[in-house]
Amino acid sequence: MKTKAQKVEAQVAPFAEVVAGLMPVARGSLALVRKACGKPGCRACKSGKRHPAWLFVYREGGKQHSRHVPAALAPLMRRAVENGRRLEQAMCAEGLRYLDSLVGDAR
């Protein structure tokens, strides 16, 4: 017969495996925008085309913020954002599984 600690560990192990496989994680989004460079003679800016730039957009303290992401690092940040979404889905599924176990225990 399993002890209570062994039961809890058995319940947590599948979720822990999912979480370990989702690193790195980030909550937010990655956006490709076009920004002016500020150089007075820039043809791209004068034509209105501007320059592509990646932004990581996130919320902190109820406010939206953004940070520049170097183009070479954008694929890494995209992966972290996708992993963050997968983690949120896994957390929802874990919450439902936990509720089902509580309801089952209450019977």
What number of other Cβ atoms are within 10 A of residue 11's Cβ? Answer: 13
Q: What is the pLDDT of residues 38-90, one digit of tens each?
A: 898 999 898 989 999 999 999 999 999 999 999 999 999 999 999 999 999 99
Quote the pLDDT of residue 2: 67
Does residue 40 have a cis bond before it (omega within 30 degrees)? no
Quote the pLDDT of residue 106: 63
The overall pTM is greater than 0.85: no
Q: What is the pLDDT of residues 63-73, one digit of tens each?
A: 999 999 999 99
Q: What is the pLDDT of residues 9-48, one digit of tens each?
A: 677 778 888 888 888 999 999 999 999 988 989 998 989 8
Quote the pLDDT of residue 65: 97
List the domain boundaries for the chain. 21-106
Nearest to 13 by CA among 27, 2, 28: 2
